[in-house]
Amino acid sequence: MSSPLEQRLQITIKKIVELLKADLTEFDSDRVLEMPLEEEIIYLESSIEDLDNLIRGLCAAKDEINLVFEDWTELNRKASAAERPEFDASFKAFESKHRPSQYAVEAEKRLTSLRMSKSKLSRKLRLKQLNLRRENAQIEQAPQVAPATPVHFEVRHEALSIGKFHGTDPDLWPDWWELFMSIHEDSGLSTERKFLYLRSFIPQESPAGLLIDGFQPSEYGQAIDLLKQNYENKDRRIRNLQQQLLTLPHCNTLEDVRKFYLNLERICRQLAGLGNDTDSDFYYNLLETKLTRPMLREILAVKKEAGDSWTTSKFRHELKKLLESEMEISSILKKMGEEKKGEEKKQFSKPKDEPHTPKRTGNEKRMSPRNEDDSPPPTVACPTVGKTNRKETVREKKGKRSLYCYFCQKKHWSNECRKYSTLQARKERIKEERRCIRCCRLGHEAADCEHPSNCLGCSGAHPLALCPNLKIPQQPKFKQSAGVGKQNGFKKKGPRKKSYSRMMMGN
């Protein structure tokens, strides 16, 4: 047998021997554990994880033996007839000395046993989790009665709320350690239980798990110190927080300012906990440039009054007050907009008990006096205008709309306003009126608009009056007249000029 193949088999056999030494009593599903239910769940999860590692290791070793046998078969097939007896003799000698086939069979037997143990432990784990959920449900449903005598309750820790720490990214250590502190500082837990929690949150095959591998439960303090020495870097943490502070995004809306303030408070408090001072002018001068123009105007006014005593802490305090005020104003305006919207719906909705009004005849329409604001649009014998009249008739049935311009507050349609005849002028007027640029309603901003208008000109999310492609029409003014022709918007056809000239020549 060739030397490389022999070396591969020897290495694989050593791995199998080490894996077969594992104590299977730790994975006995019938073993009774004297510990709280939540800790028993954590222990079962770690046992299943160890079982997975054993199964993967044995599978890899068994597959390696099979690959070596396949390589040896291929090598023997390519050998000449004179070399094959020598190859067979060397293989038999290696087989009788190291017995790789026997180790492969032993690995397969152990795999079968481990898989059965994993199945039993998984079933037991699911039952324990079900019991825990039932206990929590009973505790929540039980009436809260104050005990007559002081009772000491054991603090329970949810395993899923902390998460795993692998040690591949040292920047994740501070956040993970802050969560694990609830267990580390719990005086009601023994050192052995804390160590059990620690091993359940740090996978065994991870860099952090290999770092504390071999520690006993009584050596919990030494394991924590070793983890801190390797992952707790104060200077690196300060640099990361400072970088986060300097790269906070610029604000464009009130919601952006709110998120900016929350991130600012989080970073500044963490830096203060690490002993870093953020009250220098370098920080607040940079942070001021990230605010919106109205917010910055208010902050600079307060900063001017404070003078040399202005710090980042005062900047945060004033920003908090200003943000709370703006949020309250936004909430009030939004509520007013919803109330006004509800009133408009009531105004335009037709009451159910409205009496039926008979239709007027054509003569009554012609003879009745007409009001310029309340009169319906003229009816003409034209297909296009006829469609418009039918649409407006349906609109009148739903509710009568009065002419109103959002820009000059006069009685005409907003897209026909001549006082604000350019798109820029109309947008500035909308901002002055504190209306939404997407629907022209009050009470909210464009970012919070839930029902934007659909432009009839370009199908954009804005009213027709704010369409960039809109040209202000020169609409003719219809004069009132009792004649049918003028009422319909057309002049009566008079005699042709040609006939009139002939008449003059005849005279």
The pLDDT tens digits for 350-400 are 454 444 444 444 444 444 444 444 444 444 444 444 444 444 444 444 445
**Residue 240 confidence (pLDDT):** 82
pLDDT digits (tens, 9 = 90+) for 19-71: 888 877 777 777 766 677 777 788 888 888 888 888 888 888 888 888 877 87
Average pLDDT, whole number, for the chain? 75
Is residue 146 very low, low, confident or very high in pLDDT (cuts 50, 70, 90)? very low
- Specify the 3-state DSSP secondary structure of 188: coil
Is residue 172 very low, low, confident or very high in pLDDT (cuts 50, 70, 90)? confident
Residues composing the chain: 507
Neighbours of 51 (CB within 10 A): 21
User: Phi/psi of residue 270, each to 5°?
Assistant: -65, -40
pLDDT digits (tens, 9 = 90+) for 222-280: 888 888 888 877 787 788 888 888 888 999 998 999 999 998 888 888 888 778 877 77
**Residue 345 confidence (pLDDT):** 61
Is 0.85 surpassed by the pTM of this model? no
What are the boundaries of each domain within the chain? 3-140, 161-232, 237-343, 409-475
**Residue 85 confidence (pLDDT):** 79
Is the pLDDT reported for residue 503 higher than 80?
Answer: no
- Specify the 3-state DSSP secondary structure of 435: strand
CA distance 484 to 380: 10
CA 75 from centroid of its chain's CA atoms: 58
Q: Which residues contact 316 (CB under 8 A, 6 or more apart)?
A: 261, 264, 265, 268
Q: Identify the weakest region by mean pLDDT among 139-153, 325-339, 399-413, 419-433.
A: 139-153
**Residue 347 confidence (pLDDT):** 57
Is residue 217 very low, low, confident or very high in pLDDT (cuts 50, 70, 90)? confident
**Residue 470 confidence (pLDDT):** 77
CA distance between the termini of the chain: 137
CA distance 115 to 92: 33
CA distance 54 to 111: 8
CA distance 253 to 445: 9
**Residue 142 confidence (pLDDT):** 52
How far is CA 271 from each of CA 100, 274, 437, rounded to the nearest angstrom?
60, 5, 41
